[in-house]
Amino acid sequence: MAELLLELLSEEIPARMQARASEDFKRLVCDGLKAAGLAFTTAKALVTPRRIALVVDGLPAARADVSEERRGPRVGAPEQAVLGFLKGAGLDSLDQTEKRDTGKGEFWFAVINKKGGPTAEALPGIVDAAMKALPWPKSMKWGSGTMQWVRPLQGIVALFDGKVLSGEVSPGGHMAPIRFGDTTRGHRFLSSGAITVTGFADYEAKLRAAHVILDAAERKKIIAERAEKLCADAGVVLRKDDGLMDEVAGLVEWPVPLMGTIDAQYMDLPAEVLIVTIKTHLRYFVTTKADGTLANKFVVVANNVARDGGAVIVDGNERVLRPRLSDAKFFWDQDRKQTLESRLPALKGIVFHAKLGTQAERVDRIAKLAGEIAKLVPGADAAQVEQAARLCKADLVSGVVGEFPEVQGIMGRYYALNEKLPAAVADAIGDHYAPAGPNDRCPSAPVSIAVALADKLEALISFWSIGEKPTGSRDPFALRRAALGVIRIVVENKLRLPLKTFFKEDDLLAFFAERLKVQMREKGVRHDVVDAVLAAGSEDDLVRLLAKVEAVQAFLASEAGKNLLTAYGRAANIVRAEEKKDKALGAKIAAAPDTALLEQAEEKAVATALAAAEQAVKPALAREDFAGAMNAFAGLRGPLDAFFDKVTVNVTDKPDLRTNRLKLLNQIRATMDSVADFSKIEG
């Protein structure tokens, strides 16, 4: 068995593209190997800022002869179908095929014999096809070439069983082709000259000696361990940030964490501004004190080993950080000289959407909606809700938000606190975008709840009104996120919010229902149970809806629930079948059964049990005791089993009796469907 080693060396690959590209390359090569009939034992992809590497173990030195059989069209099929079959099989005429009777007619069959041969002969084509099919999010051309790649390609290592594969990639134009070879290069600054390799173990060892760590996981471990050691020595704590760790590991081939210091004059900036500047703009790691507040230290990861221990690198990064923080401090100081109220006229100059007007007009809609919502949020002060809603977008025209858009809303809270506005108003301004995602904190204070809901519902209602609805994967205005935010706020705060009060479009309510199903499925709730509860009526109180779902799912998990569901299915199926035969039957059996026409003890027992269930179910539903309503159905199980054993429903010689028994079965269906449409339950 032999090893295949591939390396695609290029200029720096954007960090966000590296992991996906390496896995795509592995998938494409492995798919090509399988298609060529080449089995292997393992395949591993590795990536650094300058290279994608792939090692495949356990490949055979030669491919065996294979015979493949393909069934074609039926004998006598149109000529076009026959020609397509022959072309796909690589044949010239039907003389090269066989006619076989399959028991379902005669069909043409082709037996295709593929000769084996050295594996090395098949590999260049597989590599070339994988490179051409690699789906970069963005690509470029370079020089006079026509080839598109993420960054200019510099070299290709392609070794099979220690020998260079015969092949090349042409960038096009007047540029020389890049031939498959056995040489690579090490770290851009810490090594020089070409490195010749003979296989993966040799390749990995020589690159490490040339200051390149191939494995991104190992680079992350080095960064974390050394950064934590620096922080411990400085008496601070490294702020955990997996996303930044992934990104930084994709920026360096030889990580060297170093610690820098933030000038004391900038430490009074809002923490979020410091974090955005340090983390988002400069890719430094933030540190905190023991109490969780920001410390004046940061960790930068260099891609170099400095002779002076990194002093010049640290000084350079501190000099890069200083003017950014200076700008932020200037805007922060200037912004506090102006009130949020005084900024509102400037919102008239910002277009929110061509069909929906300016931000000022949107604020008016949010404020009106927030006032209506406040009536339904226990403890929400109407005046504070109105004030927070009117001011929630004012920071959009502030200097800090203009420079750092990521902190909109957050800065509004700081400005409100600076003005000595009520804390509830300031917090509502800061919280009104939340939750922005599944892991984001959800507003819980009454004023914050009202304003956050108003912001999201206004977006949904407004965009729905102009026909801008999410379609497939397209959701440019993040309306799915807005709906999920509404659901989280309502459910987590157990808020009784009738959504139909705020919008009339049924398809918007259906949109919420779909988002709810997605969210509930992630929590282990059966999607068919959600469907069943939704189908029972256009429920727009999410808290009540989820209570029903919980009760139905719990009931169906019990033995009584499973058995009753079977009996319900029999009753519903009989009624449904008869309704299909007689379109007018539905109106005839909608009324309650006539007790005078109940003949057998078993049907009388069902009628009695059904009456008892109805008497218990209606008040239970009224007081929202859905578990109690489901348990009331349990008494139907025994009588229904006896009914189906002893009673014939379709007594054709007694039409009145037949209709009455169908009424009884229909009443069972209607009574149970008052909680959920059990026909939606799978199984």
143 — phi, psi (to 5°)?
60, -140
- Considering the domain architecture, whether residues 189 and 322 belong to the same structural domain is answered as no
Residue after which a domain boundary falls, among 80, 95, 114: 114
Q: Which domain holds residue 650?
A: 554-680
The DSSP annotation for 278-318 comes to IIIIT-PEEEE-TTSSEEEEEEEEESS--TTTTHHHHHHHH
Q: Which residues of the chain have pLDDT under 50?
A: none
Residue 525 belongs to a domain:
no
Q: How far apart are CA 363 and CA 393, in angstroms?
A: 7
Residue 521 belongs to a domain:
no
Residue 504 belongs to a domain:
no
- Residue (of 350, 335, 359) closest to 414 by Cα position: 335
* 3-state SS class at 126: helix
Please give the pLDDT value at position 675. 87
Residue 539 belongs to a domain:
no
- Considering the domain architecture, whether residues 444 and 476 belong to the same structural domain is answered as yes
Residue 480 belongs to a domain:
yes
- Considering the domain architecture, whether residues 229 and 273 belong to the same structural domain is answered as yes
- Considering the domain architecture, whether residues 452 and 346 belong to the same structural domain is answered as yes
Please give the pLDDT value at position 292. 92
- Considering the domain architecture, whether residues 291 and 432 belong to the same structural domain is answered as no
Residue 503 belongs to a domain:
no
Residue 12 belongs to a domain:
yes
- Considering the domain architecture, whether residues 488 and 439 belong to the same structural domain is answered as yes
The pLDDT tens digits of the residues spanning 269-287 come to 999 999 999 999 999 999 9
Please give the pLDDT value at position 590. 86
Contact 65/115 with Cβ under 8 angstroms?
yes
CA dihedral sign of residues 325, 327, 330, 334: negative
Q: Which helix (H) or strand (E) holds 670?
A: helix 655-673
- Considering the domain architecture, whether residues 374 and 416 belong to the same structural domain is answered as yes
- Considering the domain architecture, whether residues 252 and 301 belong to the same structural domain is answered as yes
What's the token pair of residue 590?
């909608």
Please give the pLDDT value at position 66. 67
CATH code (residue 614)? 1.10.730
Q: How far apart are CA 130 and CA 29, in angstroms?
A: 6
Residue after which a domain boundary falls, among 445, 463, 493: 493
CATH code (residue 487)? 1.10.3210
- Considering the domain architecture, whether residues 102 and 124 belong to the same structural domain is answered as no
Q: What angle do CA 597, 600, 604 make, to 5 degrees?
A: 70
Q: How far apart are CA 203 and CA 191, in angstroms?
A: 15
Domains in the chain, number? 5
Please give the pLDDT value at position 432. 97
The DSSP annotation for 71-112 comes to EEEETT--HHHHHHHHHHHT-SSGGGSEEEE-SS-EEEEEEE
Please give the pLDDT value at position 520. 84
Burial grade of 656 (CB within 10 A; 0-12, 13-18, 19 or more)? exposed
Burial pattern 111-150, b for ≥16 Cβ within 10 A else e, equals eeeeeeeebbebbbebbbebbeebebeeeeebeebebebb
Please give the pLDDT value at position 683. 67
Please give the pLDDT value at position 266. 96
Please give the pLDDT value at position 94. 85
Q: How far apart are CA 442 and CA 519, in angstroms?
A: 15
Residue after which a domain boundary falls, among 191, 209, 227: 209
- Residue (of 204, 196, 125, 134) closest to 165 by Cα position: 125
Cβ neighbours of residue 107 under 8 Å, at least 6 residues apart?
71, 72, 73, 74, 75, 99, 100
Q: How far apart are CA 604 and CA 593, in angstroms?
A: 11
CA dihedral sign of residues 391, 392, 393, 394: positive
- Considering the domain architecture, whether residues 58 and 81 belong to the same structural domain is answered as no
Residue 547 belongs to a domain:
no
- Considering the domain architecture, whether residues 295 and 414 belong to the same structural domain is answered as no
Q: How far apart are CA 303 and CA 190, in angstroms?
A: 9
Beta strand 66-74 pairing with 98-101:
unpaired
Q: How far apart are CA 204 and CA 189, in angstroms?
A: 18
- Residue (of 300, 57, 378) closest to 201 by Cα position: 57
CB atoms < 10 A from the CB of 245, how many? Answer: 19
- Considering the domain architecture, whether residues 21 and 146 belong to the same structural domain is answered as yes
| pTM, full prediction | 0.79
